[in-house]
Amino acid sequence: MIIDAEKTHSAHWGVFTARYDGRRLRVRPHPGDPDPSPVLDNIPSAVGHPARVAAPAVRRGWWERGPGRDPGRGRDGYRTVSWEAVLDRLAEETHRVRSTHGDEAVYGGSYGWASAGRFHHAQGQLHRFLAVTGGYTRSVNSYSGGAAEVLLPQILGGFDAVTRYAVTWDQVAAHTDTVLAFGGMALKNSGIAAGGVSRHVERGAMRAARDRGAMFVLVSPLRPDLPEEVDATWLPIRPGTDVALMLALMHTVVAEGRHDTDFLASHCDGWETLREYLFAAPAKDAAWASAITGIDASAIRELAWRIAYGRTLVTVAQSLQRAEHGEQPVWGGTALAAVLGQIGLPGGGFNYGLGSLGHYGRPRNAVPVPSFSRAPNPVNSFIPVARVADMLLHPGGTYDYDGAERTYPHVRMAWWAGGNPFHHHQDLRRLRRAVAELDTFAVHDPVWTATARHADVVLPSTMTIERDDIGATSSDALLVAMKQLVPVHGEARDDYDVLSALAHRLGHGEAFTEGRTAHEWLVHMYDRTRKALADRGEPAPDFEEFWERGELELPRRPDDGGVLARFRADPEGHPLPTPSGRVQVGSATIAGHGYDDCPGHPAWREPTEAPDERHPFWLVSNQPATRLHSQLDFGAHSSGSKRSGREVVRIHPDDAGPLGIADGDVVRLHNDRGATLAAARLTDDIRPGVLQLPTGAWWAPTADPERPELGDDGLCAHGNPNAVTRDRGSSRFAQGCTGQLCAVAVSRFDHPLPAVEVHRAPEAP
């Protein structure tokens, strides 16, 4: 490894260059990035950090007593063992589970973001390993968009088609008159793109639209969800009620005869059903919605007037559907855009998730980007991803999903690489009980996350900065040579090497590696892109030249509005993939499932958990501004945003005052499920009655002095909201994650403060 040279690399939060002098790593954003993400500042702290897993580790209880149900997970100590010993034992255990209980007894859903490189992508590696060695129970959908992923193909189009490649930022800058953003389009969120992002264009595009006279309307409990520069009109809505506002906007537009009857007739299906619901008692008018949403009826009527003229774009952030009945605002936003007749127009209509992620709203590359080869999974067993604790706690239990009744498999072994369920799942104390049911839990991670601390076997992975890879995504034009920047930490190994060694022990080594080294895989993966470039007659440098240059700009397809624009122009010739081929503003298919919590048209349903006397606040647990999820939580930028080492909860002064909470106080957020500490920040940028605590502070369970009966994990000392969130599906239809919203109480914490000690390896007992 050559040190002290400037090298290219990439993270989900941006392309960068870095220089390592043998001690320190200096990181600089890519010179072509107009608005780099400050999350880059977390990277240098990772080098040699005490949170790293330095050598393979096994949980004592598992190593000494063997596999089996064990509430000691999360509580036991660890000991270091050799790679040879741990790989032998793990291969043996995998074989035992499969031969005793069948291949579906291995859970390899392994949800998570891992790192940006396309070869060393931990999930892809693990799935391939589990597939070639016999198969596994997989997961479907994501925590990000679980409700929308099941709904959108039924009502509008494929998930990628209506997030990535429909309305682009260039179109917003050039064409949109009114941007109606439900949940906003926070720059903190679009800073992140799966596979990396070379140019953060969102701020510039919004500013250009604003300079042209476009109006931005922010519907959100939090003001910073749109950048200050766009001067948005802020409608601080009560969380979880957006569909009521959407219904009232439709009602008002229709009552005044300003809906697009032609578009509804020629391009939509189910309008009669929806129309009937809008006007049936109680009429879904502005006064009705005002009582539910907390937004003035006059403001709703004024907004309905505004959006019916000119080019209007409705966006719905992913957060809205990460909640109970989360399908409804996605459907409501689609239907609203259809009523306005705007779907498929440049800069108009509906773009699901625009602004939630940096890889949305951009033209598509004209050539495929490198990706690691999948292997077919011979087992056809799956769960919707966020139902993992239900599966472990109720093997053989039944549940509804997408029109079918399904049965949970009996999983004995779970395997995780590149994800952190003890960050991302809801109700972490319940997840701990679920994981206790396993025979064996194997985790690959570079750092001692809360998940690693629940594993029986911890396999130390290299970090992305310790290996060569290729960064790419289909909606970013830059292919990046991700070069190794620093030496490998301790005994860490690439996931590929670990899984190759295990595959060999299980007799499938050749099938897993196809005889390639990691470097040979990179060349192989790059070759697909090179060939496609050559076929188009474009410059197609060979791998060595690409690597030498550090990057390659790919050609892009025209920014033509994609499937929605083609459908608008010719609904018969380019039908949508929905049951009718049209926009389903109502759906006989979904109605046919008979789910009251997701009926056959967008509808308002009361949530079954909402603030009440005991738990008077909505807690919004949104994505953190200072990191990606839980990754590099110990990094300089993430740590710098904490107060006294704890995550910050935002609270309105009118709420804090009567509770005797001052800025900087440590508070306890709690409900029946558990509690977490956080440091209070008082701000009037939040709707009263709402608290906001981002995700990602590593779970630090300890006893709660206010509720000792909960045992040793009643309180998170650090500020992880999943200590209190609810583990339940969005509806019987989609079963998406509902982590964004839950009801809590808040009080000042006047007990001695428990230390936060999770950013280092657990002590040997």
Ligand X SMILES: Nc1nc2c(c(=O)[nH]1)N[C@H]1C(S)=C(S)[C@@H](COP(=O)(O)OP(=O)(O)OC[C@H]3O[C@@H](n4cnc5c(=O)[nH]c(N)nc54)[C@H](O)[C@@H]3O)O[C@H]1N2
CA atoms within 13 A on the CB side of 419: 22
CA distance 756 to 733: 40
In terms of CB distance, is 56 or 446 closer to ligand X?
A: 446
Q: Which of 163, 312, 630, 735 binds ligand X (CB under 6 A)?
A: 630
Stretch that binds ligand X, among 89-97, 278-286, 367-375, 441-449 (CB under 6 A): 441-449
Which of Mo ion, ligand X, none sits in contact with 307, Cβ below 5 to 8 A by type?
none
- # chain residues binding Mo ion, by CB under 5 A: 1
Q: Tell me if 722 contacts Mo ion by CB under 5 A.
A: no
Mark 327-366 with x for binding to ligand X (rule: CB under 6 A) and - for no binding: -----------------------------xx---------
Question: In terms of CB distance, is 163 or 273 closer to ligand X?
Answer: 163
Residue of the chain from 628, 651, 678, 734 that contacts ligand X (CB under 6 A): 628
Nearest to ligand X of 233, 589 (CB atom): 233
Pairing state between β 178-182 and 457-460? unpaired
Q: With respect to ligand X, which residue has the nearer C-beta, 259 or 387?
A: 387
Rounded to a whole number of angstroms, the minimum distance from the CB of residue 22 to ligand X is: 23
Spatial contact of 413 and 105, defined as CB atoms under 8 Å apart: yes
> Is residue 20 annotated as part of the catalytic site, yes or no?
no
**Residues of this chain, 123-162, that bind ligand X according to CB under 6 A:** 143-144
Task: Assess 120 for contact with ligand X (CB under 6 A).
Answer: yes
Site for ligand X (CB under 6 A): which residue of 114, 367, 598, 661?
114
**Contact window for ligand X (CB under 6 A) among 306-314, 361-369, 389-397, 416-424:** 416-424
Find the catalytic residue in 20, 111, 399, 416.
111
Judged by CB under 6 A, the stretch of 259-267, 313-321, 388-396, 427-435 that binds ligand X is 313-321
Using the contact rule CB under 6 A, the part of the chain among 78-86, 110-118, 391-399, 524-532 near ligand X is: 110-118
Query: Does residue 571 touch ligand X according to CB under 6 A?
Result: no
Q: Which helix (H) or strand (E) holds 546?
A: helix 543-549
Shortest Å, Cβ 38 to ligand X: 9
Nearer to ligand X, 341 or 418 (CB): 418
CB of 355 to ligand X, least distance (A): 7
Q: Phi-psi bin for 686: left (phi > 0), alpha (psi -120 to 50), beta?
A: beta
Contact flags string 552-571 toward Mo ion, x per CB under 5 A: --------------------
Q: Which span sits near ligand X by CB under 6 A: 76-84, 189-197, 363-371, 518-526?
A: 189-197
Extract the runs of DSSP E, i.e. beta strands, from 208-308.
Answer: 215-219, 233-235, 268-269
Q: Please provide the DSSP assignment of 113-176 as one string.
A: ---SBSSS-HHHHHHHHHHHTT--BEEES-TTTHHHHHHHHHHT--HHHHHTSSS-HHHHHHH-
Going residue by residue from 391 to 410, which x/- string records binding to ligand X, judged by CB under 6 A? --------------------
Q: Is the dihedral of CA 317, 318, 323, 324 positive or negative?
A: positive
Catalytic-residue membership of 111: yes
Min. distance of Cβ 143 from Mo ion in angstroms? 5
The DSSP call for residue 52 is B
721 belongs to the binding site for ligand X (CB under 6 A) = yes
Identify the burial level of 98 via C-beta atoms within 10 angstroms of its C-beta, where 0-12 means exposed, 13-18 middle and 19 or more buried. buried
Closer residue to ligand X (CB): 76 or 242:
242
DSSP label at residue 319 = G
The values of phi and psi at residue 355, to 5°, are: 90, -15
By CB under 5 A, residue 371 contacts Mo ion: no
DSSP state of 35: S
Please select the residue that binds ligand X; options are 115, 252, 371, 735, rule is CB under 6 A. 115
Question: At 14, is the secondary structure helix, strand, or coil?
Answer: strand
According to the binding rule CB under 6 A, does residue 386 interact with ligand X? no
Binding site partner of 473, from ligand X, Mo ion, none, Cβ cut-off 5-8 A by kind: none
| Residue 709 CB coordination number (10 Å) | 7
Q: Shortest distance, CB of residue 116 to Mo ion, whole angstroms?
A: 15
> Positive or negative, the Cα torsion across 553, 555, 559, 563?
negative
Give the C-alpha separation, 501 to 482, whole Å: 24
**92 residue type, one letter:** E
* Amino acid sitting at position 257: G
Catalytic residue among 63, 113, 165, 401: 113
In the complex, minimum distance from the CB of residue 444 to ligand X, in angstroms, rounded to a whole number: 4
Q: Which does 620 bind (CB under 5 to 8 A by kind): Mo ion, ligand X, none?
A: ligand X
Q: In 3-state terms, the chain is what percent helix, strand and coil (to 5)?
A: 35, 20, 50
Nearer CB in complex with Mo ion: 117/739? 739
Q: Which member of 108, 124, 191, 409 binds ligand X (CB under 6 A)?
A: 191
Amino acid at 428: L
Confirm or reject binding of residue 239 to ligand X (CB under 6 A).
yes
In the complex, what is the shortest distance from the CB of residue 754 to ligand X, in angstroms, rounded to a whole number?
Answer: 21
Q: Which region, judged by CB under 5 A, interacts with Mo ion, from 142-150, 216-224, 695-703, 742-750?
A: 142-150
Q: How many residues does the chain have?
A: 765
In whole angstroms, the minimum distance from the beta carbon of 566 to ligand X comes to 27
Question: What is the closest distance, in whole angstroms, from the C-beta atom of residue 565 to ligand X in the complex?
Answer: 24
Least CB distance to ligand X at residue 141 (A):
11
* 8 A C-beta contact, residue 161 and residue 562: yes
Residue nearest to Mo ion (CB): 144
Is residue 144 at the binding interface for Mo ion, with CB under 5 A as the rule? yes
Name, in order, each residue with C-beta under 8 angstroms of 318's C-beta and a sequence gap of 6 or more: 144, 145, 148, 183, 353, 356, 357
Output the CA torsion sign for 52, 57, 58, 64: negative
Those residues with Cβ within 8 angstroms of residue 276's Cβ, 6 or more apart along the chain or in another chain: none
In which residue are the tokens 């004995």 written? 412
Using rule CB under 6 A, residue 186 touches ligand X: yes
Helices 242-255 & 286-293 angle (0-180, nearest 10): 170
Give the shortest CB-447-to-ligand X separation in angstroms.
5
Of 12 and 30, CB closest to Mo ion:
12
Q: Which does 445 bind (CB under 5 to 8 A by kind): ligand X, Mo ion, none?
A: ligand X
In angstroms, the CA 57 to CA 459 distance is 7
Q: What DSSP designation does 365 have?
A: B
481: nearest Cα among 17, 125, 122: 17
For residue 9, the tally of other CB atoms under 10 A from its CB is 27
Interface stretch with Mo ion, choices 140-148, 366-374, 533-541, 572-580 (CB under 5 A): 140-148
C-alpha 200/C-alpha 359 separation (Å) is: 10
Distance CA 355, CA 232 (A): 15
Residues engaged in binding Mo ion (CB under 5 A): 144
Q: Which residues are catalytic?
A: 111, 113
Residue ranges in contact with ligand X by CB under 6 A: 112-115, 120, 122, 143-144, 182-184, 186, 188-189, 191-192, 219-222, 225, 237, 239-240, 242, 317-320, 322, 356-357, 417-420, 423-424, 444-447, 449, 461, 464, 495, 620-625, 628-631, 695, 721-722, 725, 739-741
